[in-house]
Amino acid sequence: MLKIAILAAGKRVREMQKSSGKKILPASLLKKWKDIQNNNTLDVLRLEELESELNQFGQINEAGERIADSNENGLSSFAIGSEETGHSITEGSLTCEDGRQILVFFGNGLKSAINMFVATQVLLGEKPTQTYFTGLARPFPPGYKQTFYTYYVKKKLFYKNSQIWNRLKRSIYQETRQKGINPRLTTFGEEPDMLYIALTSKESERATVFVRNSGTENKIGIHLRGSVKNAAKLKSVGQKCAKVLLSSMKDFENHLYKLEEDICNQ
């Protein structure tokens, strides 16, 4: 009975190693298998635990193979993204009535949660437990991110090629060039009034400054993104832009502005 059980388990382990390709069986699973081999008595509980872990690894491996097959068929890599506001976004496909497939992007909900679990498992599932959770907490080195908001403004004054829009553009170009950074205006068709300037340093480091009206609140924001190394330079650019907005876009008739002014004068 003992020999039959161990032989069956050994066959399953070998089959799993063969079918997993480049993936290595988890160290905890292999250790459990060696302990069973070295034990002179039949430990049913350990055999059940081994079977359970083999089944789990097999399911993860199959999921990875399905995603790899999708990539080979021309679909995008499976991944997730997130907005500043905390919304998770995942890519999917939708079949139209005429049979065409189009890309769609899904927001929060159960699908996003499931996709996130699958994506992290496929990307980090082979890593040791500590490395796995460290990777989830910090998948890449953090950069510099800061936003300067100006509240209670006349939002209608800011649009592409308006007086304030062009003034901000000139200010950003001047400030960045003085700091050895090359600015380049970028236009987005879905938001043409946004002032978006991509920045590149001599060391090929990239950053960006973009200015846009809020879609939900009475405010306009100067958004700074880049490496920690360039944080001081970007902050200086943002502060200069903030002065332009404060002097040109405040709505002095807004009652909230008047409350803001009273608080600042106290």
Domain CATH number, residue 171: 3.30.310.50
Residues 104 and 51 in one domain: no
The residue with greater pLDDT, 220 or 70, is: 220
Residue 236: pLDDT over 60: yes
Listed residues 23, 50, 72: the one ending a domain: 72
- Tell how strand 206-213 and strand 219-226 pair up: antiparallel
The number of domains in the chain is 3
Average pLDDT, the chain: 81
Residues 222 and 167 in one domain: yes
User: Residues 187-199: what's their mean pLDDT?
Assistant: 94
pLDDT at res. 205: 87
Listed residues 72, 107, 128: the one ending a domain: 72
Cα pseudo-dihedral 24, 28, 29, 35, rounded to 10: 130
pLDDT band at 3 (very low <50, low <70, confident <90, very high): low
Residues 164 and 203 in one domain: yes
pLDDT at res. 174: 96
Residues 123 and 181 in one domain: no
Q: What is the CA radius of gyration of the chain?
A: 28
Quick one: DSSP state of residue 7? Answer: H
Looking at the chain, list the stretches that DSSP marks H as alpha helix, in order from N- to C-terminal side. 2-19, 27-38, 44-72, 110-124, 129-137, 163-178, 231-248, 255-265
Range of the domain at 220: 144-265
Largest CA distance in the chain: 88
Residues 107 and 62 in one domain: no
Residues 186 and 252 in one domain: yes
User: Residues 135-154: what's their mean pLDDT?
Assistant: 89
What pTM does this model have?
0.58
- For the ranges 4-18, 57-71, 119-133, 237-251, the maximum mean pLDDT occurs at 237-251
Residues 255 and 155 in one domain: yes
Residues 108 and 27 in one domain: no
Residues 166 and 182 in one domain: yes
pLDDT at res. 42: 62
pLDDT band at 230 (very low <50, low <70, confident <90, very high): very high
pLDDT at res. 129: 78
Listed residues 95, 112, 137: the one ending a domain: 137
Residues 258 and 155 in one domain: yes
Residues 153 and 124 in one domain: no
Residues 148 and 252 in one domain: yes
* Tens of pLDDT, residues 147-185: 999 999 999 999 999 999 999 999 999 999 999 999 999
The angle, 0 to 180 degrees and rounded to 10, between the axes of the packed helices 110-124 and 44-72 is: 100
Q: What are residue 75's DSSP bridge partners?
A: none
